[in-house]
């Protein structure tokens, strides 16, 4: 395989007419420079230089190959410069709204890492489970779960295959027993989420990805309009929660929560990054999209 360093030594040697001069310019030893040229010749199965004790000149094959080597190095430098310029261009202020649980426990840490990589980016965050009105509030990006009803918004997928899962703590399962079927939910304390003063007490499940939903009406002694509170209750062992797997991934990995009925498909909850206009999809937004999507895949 051709090495970039070997190409560089070859071009500098051809320009200077001397291995020792090329070595000095590249700050390497003449022996390393000579080895680089020999390695390149062996890879190409060509003699690039005609050598005598007093001179070094390009062969006919070397003259021909030199043009291609120069062009290859030029293109590589252009690509590197474009990448550096693109990174330097990433900046400005992003106003982002996000859901409470995912925002506090996952996205905040991800954004810390993003800003460390791109320090010219400034962030203004709004963390709430109430859906932000992007047309009235000063928000550039909304990170939201679920299918989007507003077709005028542009959705950049972050976790398109995410679904809800039923979870409970090991202590709750030990005390109240595992679920064997969805009908068992009727005898359990179900921790319910409340949005816009409406309690989410009808939980939908699916036999397969394309089947109709089985809707189960659930009851419990606790409900909250903050999804993080529902997760904390579940970890504390006071009931069963039905939430986005992405929100719960750290708790599941750590053993604080266990997935119940893992063979039952939960409600689809794709995670998207939403913008109002295509003009808002700047290089910074696209880089953030790629960064967050990679973090979601690792979670």
DSSP states along 17-46: T-HHHHHHHHTS-HHHHHHHHHHHHHHHTS
The answer to whether 164 and 245 have CB atoms below 8 angstroms apart is yes
Would you state the pLDDT for residue 243?
Answer: 97
pLDDT at 150: 63
Q: What is the pLDDT of residue 47?
A: 92
User: What's the pLDDT score for residue 78?
Assistant: 78
The token pair that represents 84 in the structure block: 């550096």
The predicted structure's pLDDT at residue 35: 92
208 by Cβ neighbours in 10 Å (0-12 / 13-18 / 19+) ranks as exposed
Mean pLDDT in each 10-residue stretch from start to end of the chain (299 residues)?
Answer: 87 89 90 91 90 84 91 84 63 90 94 94 88 65 81 88 97 95 96 90 88 92 94 97 96 97 94 87 91 95
């Amino acid at each position: 395989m051709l090495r970039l360093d070997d190409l560089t030594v070859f071009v500098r040697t051809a320009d200077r007419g001397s291995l020792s001069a090329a070595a000095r310019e590249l700050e390497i030893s003449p022996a390393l420079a000579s080895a680089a040229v020999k390695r390149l010749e062996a890879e190409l199965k060509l003699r690039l230089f005609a050598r005598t004790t007093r001179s070094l000149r390009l062969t006919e094959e070397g003259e021909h190959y030199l043009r291609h080597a120069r062009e290859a190095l030029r293109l590589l430098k252009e690509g590197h410069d474009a990448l550096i310029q693109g990174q330097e261009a990433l900046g400005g202020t992003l106003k982002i709204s996000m859901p409470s649980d995912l925002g506090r426990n996952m996205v905040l840490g991800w954004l810390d890492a993003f800003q460390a990589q791109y320090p010219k980016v400034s962030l203004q965050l709004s963390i709430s489970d109430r859906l932000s009105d992007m047309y009235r509030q000063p928000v550039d990006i909304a990170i939201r779960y679920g299918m989007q009803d507003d077709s005028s918004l542009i959705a950049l997928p972050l976790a398109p295959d995410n679904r809800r899962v039923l979870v409970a703590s090991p202590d709750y399962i030990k005390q109240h027993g595992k679920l064997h079927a969805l009908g068992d939910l009727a005898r359990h304390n179900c921790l319910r989420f409340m949005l816009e003063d409406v309690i989410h007490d009808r939980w939908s499940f699916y036999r397969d990805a394309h089947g109709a939903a089985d809707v189960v009406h659930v009851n419990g002694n606790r409900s909250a309009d903050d999804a993080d509170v529902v997760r904390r209750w579940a970890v504390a062992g006071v009931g069963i929660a039905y939430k986005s797997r992405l929100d719960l991934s750290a708790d599941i990995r750590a053993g604080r929560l266990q997935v119940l009925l893992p063979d039952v498909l939960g409600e689809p909850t794709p995670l998207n990054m939403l913008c109002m206009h295509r003009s808002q999809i700047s290089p910074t937004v696209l880089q953030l999209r790629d960064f967050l999507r990679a973090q979601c895949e690792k979670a």
